[in-house]
Structure 1
Amino acid sequence: MLVVLAWLGASGWASEAPTLAADPALEAQMMDIAQELRCLVCQNETIAASHADLAVDLRQQIRSQLGQGRTPAQIREFMVQRYGEFVLYRPRLSAKTLLLWGGPFVLLLLGLFVLWRALRSRPGAPEPGALTPQEQQKAQQLLGLAKEKD
């Protein structure tokens, strides 16, 4: 009885690997496009790396559109129309994304300006002044140059 249960468990309930395109070139092209699209569930992964159900569905959608002869640019545009600019892992430069692209450079320039101002306004080392005769004598004693008085 244990053998029958083990056989049923191994063959009947085992999950199969996800289906891939019959053409390896088509599958490679699908993965290239999927690397450029963000998983809307995970949000920090591409749909090529994600195991979420939506990512699996989107990969299948890409496969079917490639099979219909659509270009990668057309597929990306379809995804943007359907899910918005957020689906692109590398957003396009536009008025909406200008702060996203330019923000780090603005912050870097601002930080350099603040550093420059802080260094410029910092007081410098005091100018060495002339020593009084007592200070000169004390310095010579400390340096061992003073004449010893007997």
Structure 2
Amino acid sequence: MKKFILLVVLLIFFVFLLLPPPDLEEKYINEFYDNTLVFEKIEDIVCQDVEKIPTLRATPGNLENGGLARLLNKMNVVQIVVKPENQICTITLVRDVLGFAGSGYSYKYRLNVRHPITYDKTIHGVKKNATESLKSGDNTVTYDIHLSNNWYLTYTGS
């Protein structure tokens, strides 16, 4: 019985550990606005010639372009994903990921989101990260917060 109680306590602890801190989203939004020029430079470097944009998935440490790597490191980006889609440059900058055993969350800055899921408190709940909100069949919550131009902050939680 003691082992069962300990297991339940540990499970509850891990669930709360995998929830993002309540002010994390605000931090990333402010981070974007405080560094708008950095995001514009990243966009300029990656999307120079739309017809020649390579598909890319890399960490800043694995990039050949040192200038781009420095900009990504400045923003604490852990991974960049670039895909040309219908002559449009799409960029995903993975900012924060935490997960364990199918539960967790991620925050990504994304450029040119094709079909953004706009945050709506009537759908997503008053608390943006509420697990009761907008669940798909796989218990995932996703929404996009418009930042500027075609940049979004995307939250995904499960």
* TM-score (norm. length: structure 1): 0.23
* TM-score (norm. length: structure 2): 0.22
Q: Which has the larger radius of gyration?
A: 1
Structure with higher strand content = 2
Structure with higher helix content = 1
